[in-house]
Structure 1
């Protein structure tokens, strides 16, 4: 099951992960083969989460609840998609065609669902085949040969035309245009560059992250809900994706900190115990010590999010844009996108050609609506309050959120700063700071952390303000995916992150790259559909301005 020489990527499907021995072997084979694929995709199914301490990089194997999880290794070039749950159900959540299948004959499997994950020529290896396994596989289109080691090997070669969608021709890395150099655009650019594309990023402003992504610091924390709703599941996938990128690219303690986050639920009932140790990693009732560090009453309703952090978004944007294969052009506002037989051209308002490519990803926040017909987006003004502090303030050692958020110590060139906010005003686009919003942020901080607020009021350091315009969709979920049927036009969207750009940008970039290349998706198929731009309430036109 080693990598195929000369291919841009290889996709292996393993129907029983166990403790990951086959994955580790495939990973090692990839490392040993300097001419192997650029990216190794390993998709594995496990009925129960594996024990991370028995696997490489044990710190990465946390919070593995039932569902689909993406774990990233080797700088994004070895991607494990780990599906935890019933085998047939997990197979139905997959949306790719494997190059090779590893099947364990002593485990029951739904062969029709397995065949849907294969294309003509997909190789298969059956270890320890059970009685009747060969006949069953041949009845579903596999051609097999026996081997000396009591395994079956062969390929998917049905004598009939399989039903359902068949794989499109594999995307060949070429030129990609990304419109927007905020979190969404930088993440998409990095994902495409890792796959060998030459990426031209066009930014209307004078520098990257000059819009909402220029926030002094933000809180990365998964959403939690009693019924584990759609946003909760999406935000866990997004938080994991961003944390993996932050840990690989940023400097801990300066650019980000995996500190955990305390959620003070001002009007909430007492927290319920988590249903499992894996769930507790994401969200559990805060313990008395954590409440004490935040100077909260022992009876306060508060949750603890272990896999949560504060991040300086602009540093993450800069790290993504510094990846090989990416060129950034600032002061390059795109007035129109034109498509012709050779692909896409990005034009300035005066008609100048800014860039050309086979694929264009629009990640221009509210400006995306100017480039994609029929797209409805809402601007959301947010003002953050911050101040330097170097005195003996008794601040919690971690961020606290609930009614707004508070980050206690963000390193700056002038010293540590605390950050609180942000305000939330739909439809407003005014970038001038407002004294009323400063007071609103302080009032919210008073409710969130009374003892901290009391220390701030007599402080002599002046309050500072930062204002940015977020972008939201009608149903408040990001718009991530192709414009038009199946992305055949080469026009893609990554926008409307709202106040969760840190949560969703990395996941969105990987989702778009996976769809373009026919790769395994970085999340369950039903969750990917929930982000699709053509879902109800947010359906754009079939394309931007067509060639004239």
Structure 2
């Protein structure tokens, strides 16, 4: 393996039988030990059912071995340079769920599955198989693999080298030969996440923002909430938020200080309609994590025992500014503030970014528009909608037990006891004012938030009433960016007219849930990497859906 992958930007492996992870761990150890290793190691592994965490021999792997429901799960190690996409489910559906060109394949399965596995091979792909039967050998040979005629204890070996030109039904994934220079427009959650993902792959990234500093727009709220969406039919948004939270969680643990920049508190989600149903097959024992709240969990949050609510253990409060700052400090990233990009002009094989006077702000091979509502300046054809949000915040009164330690959400949210140098913070809101860009706080917005808080947590509303009466409560306003279908937009702006210009925007009110996920999808598309989502879910975020 070291001879084959030396100095390459990435090495992609398909493993059709993850088991207890021995193949993955062996490959990971070889990658760590090799000074000429590729920049990134991708392993896509399939398993019909995840083994118990106790069966794993790696504490690092076991630490991320949670919530492994049927579907795709991206696990990240060694600062995001070793990526394991664990596909939980039957072999054939999982093989059909995505497409990439593997550099190596580890096969175990029936001969009938060989045709699907061959879709992942490029000329020169090496295959090893623990299933060494004549039927498997014949199937491999028919599909263009040159099979080693010898039979040994190491199993079957083959190389994909057909005597004919390979033709695929679908176009091959885009694959940039080498990283270059990229300009990212916007220094909020979306832009900072894109910059970090690209820099990790060797890009030199310039982030430009019109404001005086990063996190100046909707990403600049004092503290935000990271929590999943759960629906009884496990709808698209529910599956996307689970994947997004896993991606963000890895970054929070990697980059931020728990207890100061973020805290994995869990969250109680009130269901005003009383519907606490979860998808069929879920149980209190897992592998799902969200489940109807118990009386003890409700009591600890100061809510009556009869309250209809879900408990989300995989939830947290987060200071978005801290995460944005950590992403922008990664090697290979430079930040330029006070730089409002008004137009893009072709320049050789790349792009020139200009201000309103026509002065050049930056030149780059590729551009990513990630400027929230201001993305519309350069991407006017996209269905972007401004959504104003006002929230209220202040300092927690000393020894105030009425404010729950655990965040509560539902119709709005309440976060309290967030450590701060001038006293712990509380925060509640927010309004959802479509088609408004007004950043001035209003008394009507405050009243709406107080009414929302009274429904969400009556005890907290009563405890904070003096803060509002005395003028100690403060207000914050940001303008979110949403798409027409309320899903993020990740993809080329106009591949024919503006090659190399992409967008990563429209995170709505779920920037913490979606920014890291969307950034990794963008980088994977550029480099022909395995996707962290099934193809159907990835298409649900792509600009091509419009």
Give the TM-score range, shorter chain: over 0.9
Per the TM alignment, residue 250 of structure 1 is displaced from its structure 2 partner at its CA by 0.5
Q: SS of the counterpart of 2:544?
A: coil
Counterparts of 1:212-223 in structure 2, within 5 Å, are 212-223=218-229
1:77 to 1:492, Cα distance in 2 relative to 1, 3 A? same
Q: 2:537 aligns with which of 517, 527, 540?
A: 527
The whole-number CA distance in structure 2 between the counterparts of 1:388 and 1:197 is 42
- Name 2:211's counterpart in structure 1: 205
Question: Can you list the C-alpha shifts for 1:449-492, whole angstroms capped at 9, x where unaligned?
Answer: 11111111134570001110000011111101122349991111
Residue 77 of structure 1 pairs with residue 81 of structure 2: yes
Larger deviation: 364-373 or 93-102?
A: 364-373
TM-score, structure 1 as length reference: 0.94
1:280 to 1:50, Cα distance in 2 relative to 1, 3 A? closer
Q: 1:123 aligns with which of 121, 126, 131?
A: 126
- Name 1:30's counterpart in structure 2: 31
The whole-number CA distance in structure 1 between the counterparts of 2:433 and 2:111 is 54
Give the gaps of 5 or more residues in structure 2: none
The whole-number CA distance in structure 2 between the counterparts of 1:108 and 1:487 is 45
Counterparts of 1:154-169 in structure 2, within 5 Å, are 154-160=158-164, 161-164=166-169, 165-169=171-175
Counterparts of 1:137-148 in structure 2, within 5 Å, are 137-145=140-148, 146=150, 148=152
Q: SS of the counterpart of 1:159?
A: coil
Per the TM alignment, residue 42 of structure 1 is displaced from its structure 2 partner at its CA by 0.6
1:118 to 1:452, Cα distance in 2 relative to 1, 3 A? same
Whether contact under 8 Å (1:389, 1:461) holds in the other structure is no
Q: 2:97 aligns with which of 83, 93, 108?
A: 93
Whether contact under 8 Å (1:478, 1:498) holds in the other structure is yes
The whole-number CA distance in structure 1 between the counterparts of 2:420 and 2:288 is 30
The whole-number CA distance in structure 2 between the counterparts of 1:427 and 1:302 is 31
Q: SS of the counterpart of 1:439?
A: helix
Question: Can you list the C-alpha shifts for 1:250-270, whole angstroms capped at 9, x where unaligned?
Answer: 110111111101001122235
Q: 2:372 aligns with which of 336, 357, 365?
A: 365
1:343 to 1:265, Cα distance in 2 relative to 1, 3 A? same
Q: 1:325 aligns with which of 319, 322, 332?
A: 332
The whole-number CA distance in structure 2 between the counterparts of 1:401 and 1:487 is 43
Residue 151 of structure 1 pairs with residue 159 of structure 2: no
- Name 2:243's counterpart in structure 1: 237
Whether contact under 8 Å (2:291, 2:311) holds in the other structure is yes
TM-score, structure 2 as length reference: 0.95
Larger deviation: 54-63 or 490-499?
A: 54-63
The whole-number CA distance in structure 2 between the counterparts of 1:268 and 1:389 is 30
Question: Can you list the C-alpha shifts for 1:209-259, whole angstroms capped at 9, x where unaligned?
Answer: 000000111111110111100000011000110111011101101111111
Aligned Cα root-mean-square deviation (Å): 1.8
Whether contact under 8 Å (1:128, 1:150) holds in the other structure is no
Q: SS of the counterpart of 1:484?
A: coil
The whole-number CA distance in structure 1 between the counterparts of 2:241 and 2:106 is 31
Larger deviation: 442-451 or 275-284?
A: 275-284
Residue 134 of structure 1 pairs with residue 140 of structure 2: no
Per the TM alignment, residue 162 of structure 1 is displaced from its structure 2 partner at its CA by 2.6
1:293 to 1:190, Cα distance in 2 relative to 1, 3 A? same
Give the gaps of 5 or more residues in structure 1: 537-548
Q: 1:296 aligns with which of 300, 303, 306?
A: 303
The whole-number CA distance in structure 2 between the counterparts of 1:332 and 1:54 is 53
Q: SS of the counterpart of 1:437?
A: helix
Counterparts of 1:368-517 in structure 2, within 5 Å, are 368-394=375-401, 395-459=403-467, 462-485=472-495, 489-517=499-527
The whole-number CA distance in structure 1 between the counterparts of 2:393 and 2:288 is 30
The whole-number CA distance in structure 1 between the counterparts of 2:322 and 2:229 is 23
Larger deviation: 176-185 or 277-286?
A: 277-286
Per the TM alignment, residue 192 of structure 1 is displaced from its structure 2 partner at its CA by 0.1
Question: Can you list the C-alpha shifts for 1:63-95, whole angstroms capped at 9, x where unaligned?
Answer: 011111111011000000111111111111122
Residue 11 of structure 1 pairs with residue 12 of structure 2: yes
Question: Can you list the C-alpha shifts for 1:315-334, whole angstroms capped at 9, x where unaligned?
Answer: 10000000000000000110
- Name 2:106's counterpart in structure 1: 102
Per the TM alignment, residue 296 of structure 1 is displaced from its structure 2 partner at its CA by 1.4
The whole-number CA distance in structure 2 between the counterparts of 1:487 and 1:241 is 32
1:260 to 1:62, Cα distance in 2 relative to 1, 3 A? same
The whole-number CA distance in structure 2 between the counterparts of 1:401 and 1:274 is 23
The whole-number CA distance in structure 1 between the counterparts of 2:375 and 2:306 is 46
Question: Can you list the C-alpha shifts for 1:518-542, whole angstroms capped at 9, x where unaligned?
Answer: 0001111100000011213xxxxxx
Larger deviation: 461-470 or 267-276?
A: 267-276
